[in-house]
Amino acid sequence: MTDQAVAPRPVDWGLTHGRDRALDDEIMALVRTGERVLDLGCGRGDLLLRLRMEKGINERGIERDGGAVAEAIARGLAVVEGELGEWVGDMPAGSYDLVVLNQVLPLMEDPVAVIEGALRVGRRVAVSYPNFAHWRIRMTLALGGRLPVNPALPYQWYDTPNIRLVTVADFRRLCAERGWHVVREAFVSQQGPDTAAPVRALPNLRASLALAVLEK
């Protein structure tokens, strides 16, 4: 299986740091002490490091950016460089308690295949993604006629690594069609690069970031 992403290019991790960490508390709450956690697209290992320090997990991270992998390894984390789909395809079924796909769906050519693979190797899968139906995005398109640039989607149209756009409604529909059981959801609205507020109603309109916990 090939991965699901555009060709690698230098990553500005500072540009997406606030977005990537906005739902970490929700993911932390999913994990019990000592569980096995696989983070697909783990970046520099920020989430894995916190999970190991606070929950004593047995971690594994897969990341395609070599510089980020080097940083994660320097922090003492079990992270390897590679394509997400290829690694998931080679792993034994049920080998992890939780598989994390944090803000990587927009980068993938075949997100369905990667999620299916994650559900095969993990008992639970936590998927987070930016919601392209957020009201600010709708207003930017409707009134300004331009593609949005905001904390959840911080790139300009000409340098974005994203090749997929998804909304809460789209993702929920996909889960229903594929038979993925959504056992938990969480939503936030980013107020700035490093601040986010919980969203408890009308998430497809009001949330800029979403998290779904799946079981098969």
For residue 42, give the DSSP letter.
Answer: -
Q: What is the pLDDT of residue 11?
A: 67
Indicate the CATH number for domain 13-130+166-186+210-215: 3.40.50.150
pLDDT, position 89: 85
pLDDT of residue 1: 42
Lowest mean pLDDT among 56-60, 83-87, 199-203: 83-87
Distance CA 185, CA 87 (A): 26
pLDDT(7) > 50: no
- Position 15 scores a pLDDT of 78
Domain extents in the chain? 13-130+166-186+210-215
The pTM is what?
0.90
Question: Using one digit for the tens of pLDDT, what is the confidence trace for 105-150?
Answer: 999 989 999 999 999 999 999 999 999 999 999 999 999 999 889 8
If DSSP states are collapsed to H, E and C, what string results for 148-166?
CCCCCCCCCCCCCCCCCCC
Give the contacts of 29 (CB within 8 A, at least 6 positions apart). none
**Which of 210, 114, 200 has its CA nearest to residue 167?**
210
